Amino acid sequence: MKLSQYFLPLLKETPNDAQIVSHRLMLRAGMIRQLQSGIYNWLPLGLRVLKKIETIIRDEMDKAGGLEILMPTIQPAELWQESGRYDAYGKEMLRIKDRHEREMLYGPTAEEVVSDIFRKNIKSYKDLPKNLYNIQWKFRDEIRPRFGVMRGREFLMKDAYSFDMDFESAKKSYDSMYKTYLKIFKRMGLKVIPVQADSGAIGGNLSHEFQVLAQTGESEIYYEKELETLLLQDEIDIEKLQKYYAAADEKHETQENKLPPHKLNKTRGIEVGHVFYFGTKYSKAMNITVKNNKGEDVFPEMGSYGIGVSRLVAAIIEANHDENGIIWPDSVAPFKVGIINLKTNDESSTKMCDEIYVKLREKNIEVLYDDREESTGAKFAAQDLIGTPYQIIIGPRGAAVGKLELKKRATGEKVEMLPEMALGKLV
Protein backbone atom coordinates (compact mmCIF):
# COMPACT_ATOMS: atom_id res chain seq x y z
CA MET A 1 0.00 0.00 0.00
CA LYS A 2 1.25 3.46 -0.90
CA LEU A 3 0.59 5.96 1.85
CA SER A 4 -0.24 8.68 -0.70
CA GLN A 5 -3.24 6.55 -1.71
CA TYR A 6 -4.20 5.28 1.74
CA PHE A 7 -6.70 6.66 4.25
CA LEU A 8 -4.68 7.32 7.38
CA PRO A 9 -5.87 10.45 9.18
CA LEU A 10 -3.06 10.90 11.73
CA LEU A 11 -3.46 13.42 14.54
CA LYS A 12 -0.51 15.49 15.74
CA GLU A 13 -2.20 16.71 18.88
CA THR A 14 -3.17 14.43 21.73
CA PRO A 15 -6.98 14.27 21.78
CA ASN A 16 -8.02 15.69 25.14
CA ASP A 17 -11.08 13.51 25.59
CA ALA A 18 -8.99 10.32 25.71
CA GLN A 19 -7.86 9.27 29.18
CA ILE A 20 -5.76 6.20 28.55
CA VAL A 21 -2.81 5.69 26.24
CA SER A 22 -4.41 3.08 23.96
CA HIS A 23 -7.38 5.33 23.29
CA ARG A 24 -5.11 8.29 22.53
CA LEU A 25 -2.89 6.23 20.23
CA MET A 26 -5.79 4.61 18.38
CA LEU A 27 -7.16 8.07 17.60
CA ARG A 28 -3.77 9.58 16.75
CA ALA A 29 -2.82 6.62 14.52
CA GLY A 30 -6.06 6.97 12.56
CA MET A 31 -7.36 3.54 13.59
CA ILE A 32 -10.79 4.53 14.90
CA ARG A 33 -13.17 7.47 15.09
CA GLN A 34 -16.08 7.83 17.48
CA LEU A 35 -19.54 7.93 15.94
CA GLN A 36 -21.45 8.21 19.21
CA SER A 37 -20.64 7.53 22.84
CA GLY A 38 -19.17 3.99 22.98
CA ILE A 39 -19.73 3.41 19.24
CA TYR A 40 -16.79 3.57 16.84
CA ASN A 41 -15.96 3.58 13.15
CA TRP A 42 -13.03 1.35 12.31
CA LEU A 43 -10.79 3.00 9.72
CA PRO A 44 -8.51 0.93 7.42
CA LEU A 45 -5.52 0.67 9.78
CA GLY A 46 -7.63 -0.27 12.79
CA LEU A 47 -9.67 -2.78 10.82
CA ARG A 48 -6.50 -4.56 9.68
CA VAL A 49 -5.52 -5.17 13.32
CA LEU A 50 -9.04 -6.29 14.24
CA LYS A 51 -8.95 -8.83 11.38
CA LYS A 52 -5.53 -10.12 12.44
CA ILE A 53 -6.83 -10.74 15.94
CA GLU A 54 -9.92 -12.47 14.54
CA THR A 55 -7.73 -14.72 12.39
CA ILE A 56 -5.63 -15.90 15.34
CA ILE A 57 -8.75 -16.61 17.39
CA ARG A 58 -10.45 -18.44 14.51
CA ASP A 59 -7.36 -20.55 13.87
CA GLU A 60 -7.04 -21.69 17.48
CA MET A 61 -10.79 -22.21 17.90
CA ASP A 62 -10.86 -24.42 14.79
CA LYS A 63 -7.83 -26.40 16.04
CA ALA A 64 -9.69 -27.01 19.31
CA GLY A 65 -12.67 -28.45 17.40
CA GLY A 66 -14.88 -25.36 17.45
CA LEU A 67 -17.33 -24.93 14.57
CA GLU A 68 -17.88 -21.41 13.34
CA ILE A 69 -21.41 -20.17 12.77
CA LEU A 70 -22.81 -16.66 12.41
CA MET A 71 -25.77 -15.60 14.51
CA PRO A 72 -27.69 -12.36 13.85
CA THR A 73 -27.11 -9.23 15.92
CA ILE A 74 -30.89 -8.74 16.34
CA GLN A 75 -32.64 -11.31 18.51
CA PRO A 76 -36.31 -11.94 19.41
CA ALA A 77 -37.35 -11.06 22.98
CA GLU A 78 -39.26 -14.37 23.35
CA LEU A 79 -36.09 -16.41 23.70
CA TRP A 80 -34.95 -14.23 26.58
CA GLN A 81 -38.37 -14.42 28.21
CA GLU A 82 -38.02 -18.20 28.06
CA SER A 83 -34.61 -18.21 29.72
CA GLY A 84 -35.80 -15.71 32.31
CA ARG A 85 -33.15 -13.14 31.48
CA TYR A 86 -35.31 -10.61 29.61
CA ASP A 87 -36.26 -8.56 32.65
CA ALA A 88 -33.17 -9.41 34.67
CA TYR A 89 -30.79 -7.97 32.07
CA GLY A 90 -32.16 -4.48 32.74
CA LYS A 91 -31.07 -1.27 31.09
CA GLU A 92 -27.92 -2.71 29.57
CA MET A 93 -30.06 -4.36 26.93
CA LEU A 94 -30.95 -2.29 23.89
CA ARG A 95 -34.60 -3.08 23.25
CA ILE A 96 -36.14 -2.47 19.84
CA LYS A 97 -39.61 -2.84 18.30
CA ASP A 98 -40.19 -3.67 14.66
CA ARG A 99 -43.06 -2.27 12.50
CA HIS A 100 -45.39 -4.99 13.82
CA GLU A 101 -44.63 -3.95 17.40
CA ARG A 102 -42.70 -7.19 17.96
CA GLU A 103 -40.17 -6.94 20.74
CA MET A 104 -36.60 -7.47 19.70
CA LEU A 105 -33.17 -6.62 21.03
CA TYR A 106 -29.62 -6.09 19.88
CA GLY A 107 -27.83 -9.14 21.33
CA PRO A 108 -25.50 -8.49 24.30
CA THR A 109 -24.54 -12.23 24.18
CA ALA A 110 -26.05 -15.29 22.51
CA GLU A 111 -26.69 -18.15 24.99
CA GLU A 112 -30.41 -18.09 24.14
CA VAL A 113 -29.99 -18.01 20.36
CA VAL A 114 -27.41 -20.79 20.26
CA SER A 115 -29.59 -22.89 22.60
CA ASP A 116 -32.47 -22.42 20.18
CA ILE A 117 -30.30 -23.59 17.26
CA PHE A 118 -29.29 -26.59 19.32
CA ARG A 119 -32.79 -27.68 20.37
CA LYS A 120 -34.14 -27.44 16.82
CA ASN A 121 -31.31 -29.40 15.23
CA ILE A 122 -29.54 -31.68 17.68
CA LYS A 123 -31.41 -34.59 19.23
CA SER A 124 -29.00 -37.36 20.13
CA TYR A 125 -26.00 -38.06 22.34
CA LYS A 126 -24.27 -39.21 19.15
CA ASP A 127 -23.99 -35.58 18.07
CA LEU A 128 -22.24 -34.47 21.27
CA PRO A 129 -19.95 -32.93 22.33
CA LYS A 130 -20.35 -29.79 20.19
CA ASN A 131 -18.67 -26.41 20.36
CA LEU A 132 -20.28 -23.67 18.25
CA TYR A 133 -18.76 -20.22 18.07
CA ASN A 134 -19.22 -16.93 16.30
CA ILE A 135 -17.43 -13.64 15.95
CA GLN A 136 -20.13 -11.02 15.94
CA TRP A 137 -20.89 -7.49 17.15
CA LYS A 138 -22.65 -7.19 20.47
CA PHE A 139 -24.40 -4.25 22.11
CA ARG A 140 -24.46 -3.45 25.82
CA ASP A 141 -25.81 -0.09 26.86
CA GLU A 142 -23.04 0.37 29.42
CA ILE A 143 -23.69 3.12 32.02
CA ARG A 144 -20.15 4.36 31.61
CA PRO A 145 -18.71 3.60 28.17
CA ARG A 146 -15.12 4.77 28.37
CA PHE A 147 -11.53 4.37 27.25
CA GLY A 148 -12.49 4.07 23.59
CA VAL A 149 -13.02 0.51 22.38
CA MET A 150 -11.90 -0.82 25.77
CA ARG A 151 -15.41 -0.42 27.19
CA GLY A 152 -17.62 0.30 24.23
CA ARG A 153 -21.34 -0.07 23.83
CA GLU A 154 -21.06 -1.81 20.46
CA PHE A 155 -18.10 -4.21 20.51
CA LEU A 156 -16.84 -7.28 18.71
CA MET A 157 -16.91 -10.53 20.68
CA LYS A 158 -15.89 -14.08 19.93
CA ASP A 159 -18.44 -16.16 21.75
CA ALA A 160 -18.30 -19.95 21.89
CA TYR A 161 -20.82 -22.36 23.42
CA SER A 162 -20.21 -25.96 24.41
CA PHE A 163 -22.77 -28.76 24.76
CA ASP A 164 -22.00 -32.02 26.56
CA MET A 165 -23.86 -35.03 27.91
CA ASP A 166 -22.50 -34.92 31.46
CA PHE A 167 -20.39 -32.92 33.86
CA GLU A 168 -17.19 -34.85 33.21
CA SER A 169 -17.33 -34.18 29.50
CA ALA A 170 -18.40 -30.53 30.08
CA LYS A 171 -15.39 -29.97 32.34
CA LYS A 172 -13.17 -31.31 29.55
CA SER A 173 -14.73 -28.83 27.12
CA TYR A 174 -14.18 -26.05 29.64
CA ASP A 175 -10.55 -26.98 30.17
CA SER A 176 -9.98 -27.26 26.43
CA MET A 177 -11.23 -23.68 25.94
CA TYR A 178 -9.16 -22.52 28.92
CA LYS A 179 -6.06 -23.98 27.28
CA THR A 180 -7.00 -22.57 23.89
CA TYR A 181 -7.32 -19.10 25.42
CA LEU A 182 -3.80 -19.30 26.83
CA LYS A 183 -2.55 -20.17 23.31
CA ILE A 184 -4.54 -17.39 21.66
CA PHE A 185 -3.24 -14.67 23.96
CA LYS A 186 0.31 -15.98 23.76
CA ARG A 187 0.21 -15.70 19.96
CA MET A 188 -0.72 -12.04 20.39
CA GLY A 189 2.34 -11.50 22.54
CA LEU A 190 0.27 -10.90 25.68
CA LYS A 191 1.04 -11.88 29.22
CA VAL A 192 -2.30 -13.01 30.58
CA ILE A 193 -3.26 -14.27 34.04
CA PRO A 194 -6.36 -16.49 34.36
CA VAL A 195 -8.21 -15.67 37.57
CA GLN A 196 -11.29 -17.09 39.27
CA ALA A 197 -14.23 -14.83 38.65
CA ASP A 198 -17.87 -14.20 39.40
CA SER A 199 -20.19 -15.40 36.70
CA GLY A 200 -22.57 -12.41 36.95
CA ALA A 201 -25.36 -12.16 34.40
CA ILE A 202 -24.27 -15.28 32.50
CA GLY A 203 -24.69 -17.53 35.56
CA GLY A 204 -23.07 -20.77 36.68
CA ASN A 205 -20.55 -21.74 39.32
CA LEU A 206 -17.24 -22.18 37.52
CA SER A 207 -15.75 -19.19 35.80
CA HIS A 208 -12.37 -17.69 34.94
CA GLU A 209 -11.36 -14.34 33.54
CA PHE A 210 -8.23 -13.83 31.46
CA GLN A 211 -6.53 -10.63 32.54
CA VAL A 212 -3.83 -8.68 30.72
CA LEU A 213 -1.65 -6.99 33.31
CA ALA A 214 -1.94 -3.21 32.92
CA GLN A 215 -2.18 -0.33 35.39
CA THR A 216 -5.08 1.14 33.39
CA GLY A 217 -7.11 -2.06 33.75
CA GLU A 218 -10.56 -1.86 35.31
CA SER A 219 -10.20 -5.04 37.38
CA GLU A 220 -8.25 -5.43 40.58
CA ILE A 221 -6.52 -8.80 40.57
CA TYR A 222 -4.70 -10.88 43.18
CA TYR A 223 -2.58 -13.90 42.35
CA GLU A 224 0.09 -16.12 43.82
CA LYS A 225 3.52 -14.98 42.74
CA GLU A 226 4.58 -18.47 41.50
CA LEU A 227 1.81 -18.38 38.91
CA GLU A 228 3.85 -16.18 36.57
CA THR A 229 6.66 -18.74 36.27
CA LEU A 230 4.20 -21.51 35.55
CA LEU A 231 2.59 -19.48 32.79
CA LEU A 232 5.90 -19.05 31.00
CA GLN A 233 6.17 -22.79 30.30
CA ASP A 234 5.40 -24.07 26.82
CA GLU A 235 3.20 -27.00 27.84
CA ILE A 236 1.11 -25.69 30.70
CA ASP A 237 -0.40 -28.18 33.14
CA ILE A 238 -3.72 -26.48 33.65
CA GLU A 239 -4.82 -28.68 36.53
CA LYS A 240 -1.78 -27.47 38.41
CA LEU A 241 -2.38 -23.93 37.23
CA GLN A 242 -5.97 -23.92 38.44
CA LYS A 243 -4.82 -24.92 41.94
CA TYR A 244 -2.96 -21.65 42.42
CA TYR A 245 -4.81 -18.76 43.97
CA ALA A 246 -5.84 -16.03 41.55
CA ALA A 247 -9.01 -13.97 41.80
CA ALA A 248 -10.45 -10.66 40.68
CA ASP A 249 -12.58 -7.94 42.29
CA GLU A 250 -15.55 -9.13 44.38
CA LYS A 251 -14.56 -12.75 43.87
CA HIS A 252 -11.42 -12.02 45.86
CA GLU A 253 -13.25 -9.92 48.46
CA THR A 254 -15.74 -12.71 49.16
CA GLN A 255 -13.21 -15.55 48.98
CA GLU A 256 -12.89 -17.48 52.23
CA ASN A 257 -9.59 -19.19 51.49
CA LYS A 258 -7.77 -15.92 50.75
CA LEU A 259 -4.01 -16.09 51.07
CA PRO A 260 -2.15 -13.55 53.25
CA PRO A 261 -1.21 -10.38 51.32
CA HIS A 262 2.55 -11.08 51.35
CA LYS A 263 1.98 -14.21 49.24
CA LEU A 264 -0.01 -12.36 46.62
CA ASN A 265 0.72 -9.97 43.80
CA LYS A 266 -1.91 -7.26 43.76
CA THR A 267 -2.22 -5.46 40.46
CA ARG A 268 -4.67 -4.28 37.84
CA GLY A 269 -5.80 -6.10 34.75
CA ILE A 270 -7.81 -5.77 31.55
CA GLU A 271 -10.32 -8.60 31.13
CA VAL A 272 -9.84 -9.85 27.57
CA GLY A 273 -11.58 -13.19 27.98
CA HIS A 274 -14.13 -14.84 30.24
CA VAL A 275 -15.17 -18.50 30.38
CA PHE A 276 -18.19 -19.96 32.15
CA TYR A 277 -19.49 -23.42 33.02
CA PHE A 278 -23.18 -23.17 33.87
CA GLY A 279 -24.37 -26.76 33.48
CA THR A 280 -28.07 -27.12 32.76
CA LYS A 281 -29.13 -23.53 33.60
CA TYR A 282 -30.30 -22.74 30.06
CA SER A 283 -31.17 -26.24 28.91
CA LYS A 284 -33.61 -26.61 31.84
CA ALA A 285 -35.07 -23.10 31.50
CA MET A 286 -35.59 -23.50 27.76
CA ASN A 287 -36.52 -27.18 27.95
CA ILE A 288 -33.73 -28.45 25.72
CA THR A 289 -33.14 -32.19 25.80
CA VAL A 290 -31.13 -34.82 23.98
CA LYS A 291 -31.56 -38.60 24.01
CA ASN A 292 -28.89 -40.52 25.88
CA ASN A 293 -27.74 -44.02 24.87
CA LYS A 294 -30.67 -45.55 26.75
CA GLY A 295 -33.18 -43.47 24.83
CA GLU A 296 -33.91 -41.21 27.83
CA ASP A 297 -34.21 -37.42 27.58
CA VAL A 298 -31.46 -35.53 29.39
CA PHE A 299 -30.61 -31.85 29.72
CA PRO A 300 -27.26 -31.09 28.04
CA GLU A 301 -24.52 -29.42 30.10
CA MET A 302 -23.38 -26.08 28.74
CA GLY A 303 -20.58 -23.57 28.97
CA SER A 304 -19.86 -20.29 27.21
CA TYR A 305 -16.56 -18.67 26.37
CA GLY A 306 -16.04 -15.04 25.39
CA ILE A 307 -13.16 -13.00 24.03
CA GLY A 308 -13.32 -9.22 23.64
CA VAL A 309 -11.97 -8.97 20.10
CA SER A 310 -12.22 -5.18 19.75
CA ARG A 311 -11.08 -4.68 23.38
CA LEU A 312 -7.97 -6.73 22.57
CA VAL A 313 -6.80 -4.11 20.08
CA ALA A 314 -6.66 -1.58 22.91
CA ALA A 315 -5.25 -4.08 25.43
CA ILE A 316 -2.38 -4.99 23.10
CA ILE A 317 -1.53 -1.29 22.75
CA GLU A 318 -1.63 -0.80 26.54
CA ALA A 319 0.96 -3.58 26.79
CA ASN A 320 3.10 -2.50 23.79
CA HIS A 321 3.89 1.17 23.32
CA ASP A 322 6.44 3.88 24.09
CA GLU A 323 6.43 7.69 24.04
CA ASN A 324 6.50 7.69 20.21
CA GLY A 325 3.59 5.39 19.64
CA ILE A 326 2.46 1.80 19.21
CA ILE A 327 4.87 -1.17 19.00
CA TRP A 328 2.85 -3.98 17.39
CA PRO A 329 3.83 -7.59 17.97
CA ASP A 330 4.45 -9.05 14.47
CA SER A 331 1.42 -11.36 14.71
CA VAL A 332 -1.14 -8.52 14.83
CA ALA A 333 0.69 -5.67 13.07
CA PRO A 334 -1.42 -3.91 10.41
CA PHE A 335 1.67 -3.81 8.15
CA LYS A 336 4.84 -5.72 8.84
CA VAL A 337 7.12 -3.27 7.04
CA GLY A 338 7.13 0.47 6.39
CA ILE A 339 9.21 2.03 3.63
CA ILE A 340 10.40 5.58 4.17
CA ASN A 341 11.62 7.47 1.14
CA LEU A 342 13.78 10.25 2.59
CA LYS A 343 13.91 12.21 -0.65
CA THR A 344 11.10 11.73 -3.14
CA ASN A 345 12.75 14.01 -5.69
CA ASP A 346 15.97 11.95 -5.70
CA GLU A 347 15.81 9.52 -8.59
CA SER A 348 18.02 6.77 -7.15
CA SER A 349 16.24 6.77 -3.76
CA THR A 350 12.82 6.57 -5.37
CA LYS A 351 13.93 3.82 -7.74
CA MET A 352 15.27 1.77 -4.87
CA CYS A 353 12.11 2.29 -2.80
CA ASP A 354 9.90 1.31 -5.74
CA GLU A 355 11.93 -1.84 -6.34
CA ILE A 356 11.88 -3.12 -2.80
CA TYR A 357 8.18 -2.26 -2.54
CA VAL A 358 7.44 -4.48 -5.54
CA LYS A 359 9.61 -7.31 -4.19
CA LEU A 360 8.01 -7.25 -0.74
CA ARG A 361 4.57 -7.36 -2.31
CA GLU A 362 5.59 -10.28 -4.54
CA LYS A 363 6.51 -12.14 -1.38
CA ASN A 364 3.14 -11.27 0.21
CA ILE A 365 4.68 -9.14 2.93
CA GLU A 366 2.34 -6.43 4.08
CA VAL A 367 4.05 -3.14 3.43
CA LEU A 368 3.12 0.52 3.81
CA TYR A 369 5.26 2.70 1.55
CA ASP A 370 5.50 6.33 2.64
CA ASP A 371 5.83 7.97 -0.78
CA ARG A 372 4.38 11.32 0.37
CA GLU A 373 6.18 14.59 -0.12
CA GLU A 374 6.53 15.20 3.59
CA SER A 375 9.45 16.07 5.85
CA THR A 376 11.63 13.17 6.96
CA GLY A 377 10.68 13.98 10.54
CA ALA A 378 7.00 13.55 9.75
CA LYS A 379 7.67 10.25 8.00
CA PHE A 380 9.68 8.81 10.90
CA ALA A 381 7.06 10.00 13.35
CA ALA A 382 4.24 8.44 11.32
CA GLN A 383 5.83 4.96 11.17
CA ASP A 384 6.75 5.08 14.86
CA LEU A 385 3.22 6.19 15.78
CA ILE A 386 1.44 3.46 13.81
CA GLY A 387 3.90 0.90 15.17
CA THR A 388 5.14 -0.87 12.01
CA PRO A 389 7.54 -3.55 13.39
CA TYR A 390 10.19 -2.99 10.67
CA GLN A 391 11.08 0.18 8.80
CA ILE A 392 13.13 0.34 5.62
CA ILE A 393 14.73 3.75 5.31
CA ILE A 394 16.14 4.85 1.95
CA GLY A 395 17.88 8.13 1.13
CA PRO A 396 20.34 9.52 -1.46
CA ARG A 397 23.50 8.70 0.58
CA GLY A 398 22.70 4.99 0.93
CA ALA A 399 21.10 4.70 -2.50
CA ALA A 400 24.37 5.87 -4.09
CA VAL A 401 26.01 2.66 -2.80
CA GLY A 402 22.88 0.50 -3.15
CA LYS A 403 22.18 0.27 0.57
CA LEU A 404 19.18 0.83 2.81
CA GLU A 405 18.68 0.99 6.55
CA LEU A 406 16.54 -1.59 8.35
CA LYS A 407 15.11 -0.37 11.64
CA LYS A 408 13.40 -2.48 14.26
CA ARG A 409 10.61 -0.52 15.94
CA ALA A 410 10.78 -2.40 19.25
CA THR A 411 14.47 -1.71 19.92
CA GLY A 412 15.18 1.27 17.67
CA GLU A 413 18.18 -0.64 16.35
CA LYS A 414 19.19 0.36 12.78
CA VAL A 415 21.44 -1.65 10.45
CA GLU A 416 22.67 -0.67 6.99
CA MET A 417 22.46 -3.48 4.44
CA LEU A 418 21.79 -4.47 0.84
CA PRO A 419 18.13 -4.84 -0.19
CA GLU A 420 18.52 -8.64 -0.75
CA MET A 421 19.67 -9.06 2.80
CA ALA A 422 16.74 -7.03 4.16
CA LEU A 423 14.34 -9.13 2.09
CA GLY A 424 15.92 -12.28 3.49
CA LYS A 425 15.34 -11.04 7.02
CA LEU A 426 11.73 -10.04 6.41
CA VAL A 427 10.31 -13.14 4.74
Task: Report the residue number, 307 or 337, with the smaller CB distance to ligand P5A.
Answer: 307
Q: Is 221 exposed, middle or buried (0-12, 13-18, 19+ CB in 10 A)?
A: buried
Please count the CA atoms within 13 angstroms of the CA of 134 that sit on its side-chain side: 15
- What SS3 state is found at 47? helix
Does 142 interact with ligand P5A (rule: CB under 6 A)? yes
Q: Which stretch binds ligand P5A (CB under 6 A): 76-84, 154-162, 281-289, 418-426?
A: 154-162
Does the protein bind ligand P5A through residue 311 (CB under 6 A)?
yes
Q: Quick one: how many helices (H) and strands (E) in the chain?
A: 15, 23
Judged by CB, which is closer to ligand P5A: 150, or 385?
Answer: 150
306 in contact with ligand P5A (CB under 6 A) = yes
Residue nearest to ligand P5A (CB): 308
Cα gap 174→58, rounded to integer Å: 17
Residue among 21, 93, 157, 190 that touches ligand P5A (CB under 6 A): 157
- Residue 361: CB minimum distance to ligand P5A, A: 34
Query: Is-contact 328 320, C-beta < 8 A?
Result: yes
Contact between 352 and ligand P5A by CB under 6 A: the answer reads no
**Distance in Å, CB of 202 to ligand P5A, minimum:** 5
Asked if 80 and 347 count as a contact pair (C-beta separation under 8 A), the reply is no
Nearer CB in complex with ligand P5A: 192/339: 192
Can you list the alpha helix ranges (DSSP code H) found in 254-296? Answer: 281-285
203: contact with ligand P5A by CB under 6 A: no
Binding to ligand P5A by residue 134, rule CB under 6 A? no
Q: Are 307 and 184 in contact (CB under 8 A)?
A: yes
Answer whether the bond into residue 129 is a cis peptide, omega within 30°: yes
Cβ 189 vs Cβ 329: under 8 Å: yes
Under the criterion CB under 6 A, does residue 304 sit at the interface with ligand P5A? yes
Cβ distance to ligand P5A smaller for residue 151 or 379: 151
CA 157 to chain centre: 8
Binders in 221-280 for ligand P5A, by CB under 6 A: 271-274, 276
| Contact set with ligand P5A (CB under 6 A) | 109, 140, 142, 151-152, 155, 157, 159, 202, 271-274, 276, 304-306, 308, 310-311
